[in-house]
A and B are shown apart, each in its own frame.
Chain A
Amino acid sequence: MSAFSSLWRRYVFIDNPSPIVKQLPTTLVFSGAVLLVTLIPDLEFTDVPVTIAGGLGMILATSLAIVFSGSPSLRRLALLIPFIDLFAIGLFRMGTGGPTSLFSAMIILPVLWIAVQPQRRYIALAALGTSIALTLPYWLEWRFPAESSEWLRGIVTPIVFAVAAAIVNEISRQSDARVRAIHQLADERDVMLRGAVDYAERLSDNEGRMRAADRLTRSVLDAVTEQSVIGADVTGLIDVWNPGAEKMLGLTAVQAQGRRYMHEFHVEAELLVRSKELNYPPGETVLNPGFSALVESARLGKAEVRQWTYVRADGTTLIVEVAVTRRVDEQGTTVGYIFVATDVTQALEVSRLKDEFVGLISHELRTPLSSILGYLELMRDDEDNPLSDEQVQYLGVAERNAHRLLRLVGDLLFTAQVGSSSFTLDTTSLEVEPIVANSVESAGPNAATAGVTMSFIPADEQITVLGDAQRLGQACDNLISNAIKFTPRGGTVSVALTLEEGKAVITVRDTGMGIPEEELDQLFARFFRASTATRAAVPGVGLGLSITKAIVVAHLGELDVQSEVGVGTSFILRIPVAGPVAIPLS
């Protein structure tokens, strides 16, 4: 606060003095002169009315100075004041002895005020004012001075004052220029200071953001505890090692970072095999063959996920799936690699157990069914002990249900194989029409029992696809038997085979109960059953369509469905044709 008030004072009194500040010395000196003449007997007022007029002039000038100081809009008129001062001092001088007055020197005070104005013309104005003040007695008496010394005083003294005014004016101008320069420098310094403060704030903000980003990255890396995230430079030297890596490989970040190379955690024989696979062009220098085998695909910008064996610090091994990506700097130059590894030892074990389970089911369920079906057949075929019609009918029921169970076992096995990606197609070039026709024909008895009319419209041309005849037949069987199951007595199921845009298209359309629109998305999910199917108590476990879809997808085809509740459903199966698009029958 004190610093501020001292600055304010400096501004008001020195840099930009108000009219009263400028007037005050003149008023004080004038008052002192009045006091001297009154108190000292040797001095006397030669002309009292003129002296009083001078005093009134000084009071007027001082009053104006006070008024102008209080009003910024009037301040531009302040230059009137020193001229009034000159006139008042001239009158006072005239009233206290005229040319012999002691107080002629007071004139210098308003002259200096006028002289400090920036323009040079004020030097002349100051000289003119001085001349008028000194020759005031002759002007008032309206006579020309009798002696040459008298009129010369009206010229010489103003010239001396003008010279003094010129010096003051010059000093003032230079001082003003310096003050302006100092102000300008101060302004520039302020601007620079503000800039520096802004820059520092921005720097601080950026640093904060970088720290936050760094903390985020670190916390993400630390949160990954079930996968190892390892970073290495282009030579393979490790520089990132997350808690997942610590857990997986049994080394701390301090033990690994900057001390170990990535390929040290791999089985050398695997790296060697991969190195041979990569088949580097002749002449290419490979700095670090072990590490190079790990990152070669990533180096060429390809995403790579590959199974490797990691060797822990204690020498034990684990099977991992490693995704390798490239790290680049701002210019796009490779500066290292990131290895994200997932332990798949357990997943592989689960897959092996699943395969074992599938094998076991295959044997354990099919064997009793073999006995049941075999002995049922023996009973039916026993010519020595022919069965009654009723017994034959009972046997038929038992056989039908045993076959149903067998189909279910087959579907479960197939679903398990699809899930573990272990199902294969026995692909040959085959004609589609006999497959579809066979499915339609074998569904005939079922359709007849269900009171459903069936029709088949074959294609105009022969259509050949690359596929597995048994699996394609299974897909057609599923679609047709579904259509029959979901169509009420008196309805129709129409099957059509066409060739459209290079694809064999099998359409199975029924006039059944339909599937609600919101359930169409889930229709191909395993064990899903439409609400219309469960409501109508249509038997099934919900595997047929998922199996059909898997078969179609394995044939690079598509399976679409269109349905309306109460109107019917259409399944459209499309499979790309093999080789030449079609062979016209003609």
Chain B
Amino acid sequence: MSRLTVVVADDDADILALVKIAVAKADLDLLEAATNGIDALAAIQRHKPDLALLDVSMPGMTGLEVTRAVREDEALAGALVFILSAAVDQTAVDAGFAAGADAYMTKPFSPRTLAAQLTALIEARATAQ
């Protein structure tokens, strides 16, 4: 089985690097790392990855807006969306799922836990298929 592909996006370079490490730990194939919402959506549309891992608060487009655009694009029907956000209250989490996210993790996060969750999400998808 070929490795699953992923596009990540976060406007904070340090966090982005941390996310990349977690992605590598989960043994995913990182196609592109974007630092704003617009680039992120373009990369997702270009690569059609299996998974998009998005920060919420980003310049250009927020992670929630990117999620909604992905859900509205039929060509991206199979993509999983994982949101990583600094907003911790229930309203923010609810808004993430309402936008169409498959998973939501709050910052600060443990790279180890993030890797485990990514793996779990992908395994769950594989089982469902």
Contact = CB atoms under 8 A, between A and B. Distances in A.
A318 interface: no
A426 B86 contact: no
Given A373-B108, A378-B21, A381-B112, A367 B89 contact: no
A363 B112 contact: no
The main secondary structure of chain A at its interface with chain B is: helix
Interface string B7-37: 0000010110010010000000000000000
Nearest to A378: B111
Contacts of A377: 110-112
Contacts of B18: 370-371, 374-375, 378
A452 B21 CA distance: 41
Contacts of B107: 366-367, 369-370
B46 to A, nearest CB: 27
Contacts of A417: 89
A362 interface: yes
A406 interface: yes
Chain B contact residues (Cβ within 8 angstroms of A): what range?
Answer: 10 to 19
Nearest to B110: A377
Contact of A424 (B14, B21, B90, B112): B90
Nearest to A360: B57
Contacts of A542: none
Contact of B12 (A367, A372, A375, A378): A367
A410 B88 contact: yes
B87 interface: yes
A402 to B, nearest CB: 8
Contacts of A406: 108
A396 interface: no
Contacts, number: 55
A363 B21 contact: no
A284 B14 CA distance: 68
Contacts of B87: 359, 362-363
A374 B111 contact: yes
A439 to B, nearest CB: 19
Contacts of B111: 374, 377-378, 381
B108 A369 contact: yes
Contacts of B91: 424
A426 B107 CA distance: 20
Nearest to A380: B112
Nearest to A423: B89
A310 B39 CA distance: 45
Interface string B81-117: 0000011111100000000000000011111100000
Given A378-B111, A424-B91, A371 B86 contact: no
A352 to B, nearest CB: 16
Contact of B109 (A362, A374, A424): A374
21 contacts: A362-B87, A363-B86, A363-B87, A366-B88, A366-B107, A367-B12, A367-B15, A367-B107, A369-B108, A370-B15, A370-B18, A370-B86, A370-B109, A371-B14, A371-B15, A373-B108, A374-B110, A377-B110, A377-B112, A378-B18, A378-B111
Given A363-B86, A371-B18, 7 more contacts: A359-B87, A362-B86, A366-B88, A371-B14, A374-B15, A374-B109, A423-B89
A-B CB proximity, top 10 nearest: A370-B108, A366-B86, A370-B107, A371-B14, A374-B18, A373-B108, A426-B90, A363-B86, A363-B57, A369-B108
